[in-house]
Each structure stands twice: as C-alpha cells, then as structure tokens.
A and B are shown apart, each in its own frame.
Chain A
Amino acid sequence: MFENLPRNPKIRMIRCFLTDTLRRARAIRDWYQELGYTETEMRGIKLLREWLSPEQLVQFHRFRYFDVTGCHSGKTYRYVTVRERISGNLTDLGYPKAGWCFVPNEPLVPGDVMLAQKISLETDEWTALAVAKSFRPI
C-alpha cells in the first residue's frame, strides 16, 4: 500500500494524516452505532462534542459523563447519564443527594439536550435552576 504513496514527503504526510483522521472518525461512528445510537442521535452527540471544553471532552470519552461549573455559584454539576429521559438530571457534587432536571420545551436528541443544559449552567445558572425541578437521586 505504501509504495503507492507519492514521493513528496509533504504530500505523503498530508495523505497519511487524512487517512488516519478518516479511520478515527469511522471508529468513533462505529462505536456510537454499537451503543445503539441512531444517525440523528449521533449528530446530536457530534454537536455536543464540538462544544465541550477539552477537559469535558476527555471526561465524556472516558466515563460517558462530564462536569459543568455553574457560572454564578461555582458549583460543579455532573450529568449522570447520556441517554433518554434522565439525560437532563444533574447531580450537585457538593450535595450528592440533590439533583435537578430541566429540559428544552421541544423534543431534542439527547446530545442536544445535554448541550443546551451545559450552556445554560455555564452562562445563566440561576435562571436554569429557577425553572428546574429538584429530585433525590437514587
């Protein structure tokens, strides 16, 4: 395979980089498909990943959750799950038994829901918590 690569080292390097990027993108897509995500849900996850900070992205890939710091209180909130109805539930790490749930008023895929919640907590925490319903995590 490598004998077909051009001799120009720069073009060769770019081609190798593109091949590697494509391979990684396919691997990520396959991984999400194995988890049972639909194409639409994968688009939501892709958008979410684009807007996560580098630290949140590492957490999300490694543990399937990420922490968000509230812009007003400085408290840390954790998304306890990614999928379905409880994707909007947040746990205040300072008070492990406290949780809040708030969701967009239109049906969105889980990745979009998480992104909307993340942005709300990071930019207008009090307003987000004002509309949220509290619950006791099990």
Chain B
Amino acid sequence: MATQIVMNHSGDTRHVFDANDANALLEAERRFKELTGAGFTAAIRTASGEPAVTHKFDPTAEETLFFPRLVGG
C-alpha cells in the first residue's frame, strides 16, 4: 500500500491506496496534480532515506509528503 500525506492544521491527512489498482492510481495522480497545482511541494524519500522533491507523480513511491508553500516568516 502507498500513502500520500498532506500536512494541514490538524497535523496531516493520510490517503492510503493500492498502487496495483489502476483506479486508485488515477485518483492518487489526480490528487498529486491538484495539490502541486495549489502550491504544495511534494517530497519522497530515496532508497537511501534522503528526501527528494518531485514534480511528477511517481506511482512507485511508497510515501509522498505534501507541504504548503514556504514564505518569509
């Protein structure tokens, strides 16, 4: 199972989906585009565990983290 984690005011919202299910993948891709289109940054972890920002939906990613746009504080 793969997970998309979206940060929000309540901590985060998790969307778990079966990466082998074509419909679930389409829905996950739609969510990816919607969030990144709204300014969220998508990050995944590489095989070595380091974070990497991705601009394209990766159907093989086990976990994708979305966080809002950063601004000067």
Q: Point out residues on A near B: beta carbons under 8 Å.
A: 40-41, 43-44, 47, 51, 53, 88-89, 101-109, 112, 115-120, 122-124, 128, 131-133
Contact = CB atoms under 8 A, between A and B. Distances in A.
A117 to B, nearest CB: 7
A123 B68 contact: no
Nearest to A104: B68
**Top 7 A-B pairs, shortest CB-CB distance:** A43-B11, A101-B73, A133-B72, A116-B67, A103-B73, A104-B68, A106-B68
9 contacts: A53-B49, A104-B7, A108-B7, A108-B9, A112-B7, A115-B65, A116-B67, A123-B52, A132-B73
Contacts of B41: 116, 119-120
Contacts, number: 86
A102 B72 contact: yes
Interface residues of B, number: 24
B43 A131 contact: no
A131 B68 contact: no
A123 B70 contact: no
Nearest to A133: B72
